[in-house]
Structure 1
Amino acid sequence: MLKQVYTAATPLMPGFIQEILKNAGIPCQQRNYFLNGAMGELPFVETWPSLWVEAAYEQQALELIQATLQQPSTGFWTCSGCGETLETQFQNCWQCGQAAPPSTAIADGK
C-alpha cells in the first residue's frame, strides 16, 4: 500500500525530494506532475504534485524529508569519497558522484 509523504504547489520541490529519497534507497513515485492544467476544474490542492512510498518506507521517508527541509541553505560539506568541499545545495559530489550524508553540513563555511 502506498502512502503520500510529500506534496507541493509546483513540481520543483517534489522532484528534488524524490532524488533525495532515491539516493537513500527509498523507492518512490511522483504523482500529479502534469495535473496543473486541470486547476479550476478540480480543487487546486488535488492537482499538486506529490510523492508516494510503500508503507514500509513511510517513517524513514518522512524523517529524511524533515531532515532535508531543516538543513541550512548555506554551508558546505566534504565528500567522503574524494575530499572535495561542496555547497550544501549539492546532493552529490561533482567530482566522484558520492552522495552527501545529511550530517556533513559545515556551518562556518570552512
Structure 2
Amino acid sequence: MQRLTQAPNIAIATVWADLLCEAGFQASVQRQHLGAAAGHLPPDQCLPEIWLTHDEHLASARALLDALRALPQRRWACVCGELVEGGFEQCWHCGAFMPRDD
C-alpha cells in the first residue's frame, strides 16, 4: 500500500477516495477517526489519509487527484435568476445548464 495524500477533513477524504475508486484505483481512507486525538497528537498526524492498494497506481492517481483539485470555479447567473457559484455547470434551482460562450 502507498499513501497518496492527506485530506483536510473526513468529508473531502471520502469524496476523493470515492472518485479514485470510480476511476479504477483501489483507494481507501485511513485515520478517519484520529481527529478525536487532536491536542494529544501533532495536528498533522490527525488528518485523514488516502491510501492506494497498488503502488504502481501512484502516479496516475496523483494526476487525477491534482486535476480534481484544480476544477475551475465559476460565478454565473442562471436564466431563473439564481446565482450559481463554484464548480457547478448546472443550476440547482431550475436544472438549467450554464450558458456557453461559443
Please report the TM-score for the alignment, with normalisation by the length of structure 1: 0.65
Partner of 2:66: 66
SS of 2:39's partner is coil
Q: 1:89–1:7: structure 2 CA closer, same or farther, 3 Å change rule?
A: farther
Letter of the structure 2 residue corresponding to residue 27 of structure 1: Q
CA distance in 2, matches of 1:16, 1:73: 18
Alignment of 1:1-110 (within 5 A): 2-53=1-52, 54-74=54-74, 89=88, 109-110=99-100
1:22 match: secondary structure: helix
The superposition leaves residues 19-51 of structure 1 with CA deviations (integer Å, 9 ceiling, x where unpaired) of 110110100111010111111111111110010
Q: 2:88 & 2:18 partners in 1: Cα distance?
A: 13
CA distance in 2, matches of 1:22, 1:73: 24
Question: What 5-or-longer segments of structure 2 have no aligned partner?
Answer: 76-86, 90-96
Alignment size in residue pairs? 82
| 1:46-99 deviations in Å (ceiling 9; x for gaps) | 110010112111011000000111111349xxxxxxxxxxxx559xxxxxxxxx
Q: Where in structure 1 do 4 or more consecutive aligned residues deviate above 6 Å?
A: none
| TM-score calculated relative to the size of structure 2 | 0.69
Distance 1:89 1:21, change over 3 A: farther
Consecutive unaligned residues in structure 1, runs of 5 or more: 76-87, 91-105
CA RMSD, aligned part only? 2.5
Asked whether the 8 Å contact 2:7–2:50 carries over to 1, the reply is: no
